[in-house]
Chain A
Amino acid sequence: MSKQTIFLLRDTSLTQDNTRDFQILFLKIARDLGVEDSIQAVRASDLGIYDKGYVVKDLNNKITYANIQETDIEKFLKATIKGEGSVDEFKYTADKCQLRIVLRNCGLIDPENIEEYMAQQGYCALAKALTEMTPETVIDEMKKSGLRGRGGAGFPTWMKWSFARNSLDETRFVVCNADEGDPGAYMDRSILEGDPHAVVEGMILAGFAIGAQRGFFYIRAEYPLAIKRIETAIEQAYERGLLGNDILGSGFNFDLEIRLGAGAFVCGEETALIESIEGKRGTPRPRPPFPADKGLWNHPTIINNVETLATVAQIINRGGEWLAAIGTEKSKGTKVFAITGKVKNSGLVEIPMGMTLGEVVFGIAGGVLGGRKLMAVQTGGPSGGVIPLKLIDTKVSYEHLAEVGSIMGSGGLIVMDEDDCMVDIPRFYLRFCVEESCGKCAPCRIGGFQMLKILDRIAEGKGVEADLQQLQRIAKGMQKASLCALGQTAPNPVLSTMKYFPEEYRQHVEDKKCRAGKCTKMVQYTIDQTHCKKCKLCVVNCPVGAISGSREAGYVVDQVKCIKCGTCYEVCKFKAIVRK
């Protein structure tokens, strides 16, 4: 039989999934054209592309086509299979900029079937490590790769491993940190759900490298599907002798268990996570001793992020130099980001380190929603900073992001436009940190609360000049004296917005104005009589009856009655409502 072209089909629209219907139609048209024997059309569960209509990926030629209508299928098949005509118009370009290493299997293989993972070189790295390598050479390979932790801090993975390896204590543990707490980010969930075996293999390799006997998956309970997929993956690995005693006849024993989180952001912090696995309240421990020295039940423990572990097997397979060739001098490999906010194509992307933020936001993600102007992007979630438009050419890497006052973080990338207020955003993040602070240390517990109170005051239009200095002072105290990185980094969103948008803070404090109209206590809605067409839509929709008047005299908003809900602003078709 001649070689078949394999097509992956996927309905990427966000509201419904008609992939099955599309596949049936696709196959029917192929039959009508007499090309059904030269193609295979497979439904994919996720291609990492969203809101692009029907997407077809030509696996043989590695070309992706997007926005294909049912009526285009015939033309599409004629062009791709018979070579009649062209379908360049459907070519999906964003794919070129992405580099899928961690997400390579996501959406392509059946995550609940170990065979499919194995067909993609799965568990080859484990076999290689156990038969041809020693723990030391595994760590060496990791060192060559330059892989740094993807959980936020970016600590070199090999170093952590060798600390544990060199410990005198022989009882050691590996923990996978799958407590993805950053709101607005879901990279780890997608990896666990899409390619669970890659993480399991990474765990076993880590266990082999440091000489651990047991490993724990710490997964947030709010990810039931991820939990189930990992459960299945572990079960299958046991069945195949990839876990348990004497793995692949090498004499290496390793067991894996799942522990569930219970909705506490701070439990993503490694020492708090250890407390939580031990069945206690998740409050961080002072460091040192570091977990690699004294972790779970006081034995050496390494804690790695899902994405970090999902990269390990490929490093062993392809060699450390392979990964080291990708990225910048100090940041190697790729990073997965969840792009959200005011952006056209939100979704998951995996990019090589060193690409600029602008390329990601404008290139891959298609720019700002509704053609509006980009204000800033935010990376690192509640621990990160805001990066203004003028720095959009900053490279995505640990060192470059740190230089501009943000962090790589776990992979949230939030796009903000002119409608977002640069006092309101940090207030949102700070409130998050205050709610999630475990309360163990005073700088975080009290400092965070006081900073939030000041920001609340500023947002209400009651801020004074001295408040700004006070914010800086408390922030410094928190950065220096908090017990864990939650408190140390909580002021980051505030500090970075103060640094890049001082004018906005000044407006809030001095002029009592919010440019974006988000700080509702300060805004006033008025009606611009020249634009008003007297349609009365605002009058009818106002929930408190604050708008009155007549056709002749015009309509006005009663500022005392107005609750500043913004309904009139939304419903007006003639932009006659002015928000100031």
Chain B
Amino acid sequence: MGVVCLNFKFFSVFAKHARTSLTENSMGKNTLTKADNPAKTQDEIIAGLADKWRDKKGSLIMALHDVQSHYGYVPRDVARKLAHQLDVPLARIYEVITFYNYFKLTPPGKHRISVCLGTACYLKGAPELIEEIESLLGIKEGQTTSDGMFQLDVVRCLGCCGLAPVMTVNEEDGDKVYAKLSRKQVAEIIAKYSKPGAIEKK
């Protein structure tokens, strides 16, 4: 369980539109909140969250960030409990979740591939990379393969445009950045992650 939680932490940091810092290779080390003790029950976690944010004006988005950094997405029952605790209608919560790209309603795949489609990467051939991955994995952007192994996200500018085209795949200790990619390399990278135990060894 501990491992899974950790993993989710990293997923959330790197949701849609993620950018990364290359020089510092910082992703994953810095999360938005300290991880809650995994032994806590869901109710306790939500109650803790609600206590933290209840008295702060306009903090619904911050509370949702905490939920997502814990679970990797916003599960429906958590949203319902949060609504109850914060005394806001569930519709308000969903209104916010669905507006912002960062919040997810479904659990993330094991390996999250985020391909940058910012301007620099677009010019340098990112659309072809996406096409290649889509045909290799048989999914469209935003989808997860049926075995839950891969998820393909298209993100906006990872902030390392000098290395375009860029994609990241999340690993235990943060996100791995693959730079200056070609079609061929993409296939190799996916093959690497397809091997059983590929990520655990890292």
A172 located at the interface, meaning its Cβ lies under 8 Å from any Cβ of chain B in the complex: no
Interface of B is mostly: loop
Please state if A15 and B58 are interface contacts (CB–CB under 8 Å).
no
Choice from A222, A228, A347 contacting B162 with Cβ under 8 Å: A347
A193-B24, A259-B61, A340-B120 given as contacts; is B30 within 8 A of A225 (CB)?
Answer: yes
Residues from chain A with a CB closer than 8 A to the CB of B99 are: 264, 281-282, 438
Name the residue on B nearest A416 (C-beta): B123
- Give Cα distance in the complex from A405 to B157, angstroms: 25
A577 located at the interface, meaning its Cβ lies under 8 Å from any Cβ of chain B in the complex: no
Identify which of A224, A281, A340, A428 gathers the most chain B CB atoms within 10 Å of its CB.
A224
Within 8 A of A (CB), among B96-129: 96, 99-103, 117-120, 122-124, 128
Identify which of B31, B102, B157, B163 gathers the most chain A CB atoms within 10 Å of its CB.
B157
Please state if A565 and B57 are interface contacts (CB–CB under 8 Å).
no
Please state if A14 and B163 are interface contacts (CB–CB under 8 Å).
yes
Within 8 A of B (CB), among A229-275: 259-265
Min CB distance B18 to A, Å, is: 4
- Give Cα distance in the complex from A184 to B120, angstroms: 6
Min CB distance B5 to A, Å, is: 17
Choice from B119, B128, B156, B179 contacting A340 with Cβ under 8 Å: B119
B16 located at the interface, meaning its Cβ lies under 8 Å from any Cβ of chain A in the complex: yes
Please state if A276 and B61 are interface contacts (CB–CB under 8 Å).
yes
Number of residues in A with C-beta < 8 Å to the partner? 58
Residues from chain B with a CB closer than 8 A to the CB of A276 are: 61
Choice from A224, A338, A414, A420 contacting B31 with Cβ under 8 Å: A224
A279-B61, A567-B183 given as contacts; is B13 within 8 A of A183 (CB)?
Answer: no
A30 located at the interface, meaning its Cβ lies under 8 Å from any Cβ of chain B in the complex: no
Residues from chain A with a CB closer than 8 A to the CB of B15 are: 221-222, 263
- Give Cα distance in the complex from A228 to B27, angstroms: 11
- Give Cα distance in the complex from A185 to B116, angstroms: 13
A186-B161, A223-B19, A225-B26 given as contacts; is B120 within 8 A of A260 (CB)?
Answer: no
Min CB distance A361 to B, Å, is: 14
- Give Cα distance in the complex from A429 to B157, angstroms: 13
B167 located at the interface, meaning its Cβ lies under 8 Å from any Cβ of chain A in the complex: no
A146 located at the interface, meaning its Cβ lies under 8 Å from any Cβ of chain B in the complex: no
A40 located at the interface, meaning its Cβ lies under 8 Å from any Cβ of chain B in the complex: no
Please state if B17 and A222 are interface contacts (CB–CB under 8 Å).
yes
Q: Knowing that A225-B30, A228-B26 are A-B contacts, what are 8 other residue pairs whose CB atoms are under 8 Å apart, sorted by A's residue number?
A: A51-B162, A186-B159, A225-B24, A264-B100, A281-B96, A297-B58, A429-B119, A432-B156
19 A–B contact pairs at CB < 8 A? A14-B162, A17-B23, A182-B157, A184-B157, A185-B157, A186-B160, A186-B161, A189-B21, A223-B159, A225-B30, A228-B30, A259-B62, A262-B64, A263-B15, A263-B100, A282-B100, A340-B119, A340-B161, A432-B156
Tell me the B residues contacting A by CB distance below 8 Å.
Answer: 13-19, 21-24, 26-27, 30-32, 57-62, 64-65, 95-96, 99-103, 117-120, 122-124, 128, 131, 156-157, 159-164, 179-180, 183
Tell me the A residues contacting B by CB distance below 8 Å.
Answer: 14-15, 17, 45-46, 50-51, 181-186, 189, 193, 220-225, 227-228, 259-265, 276-282, 297, 338, 340-342, 346-347, 378, 381, 412, 414, 416, 420, 425, 428-429, 432, 438, 565-567
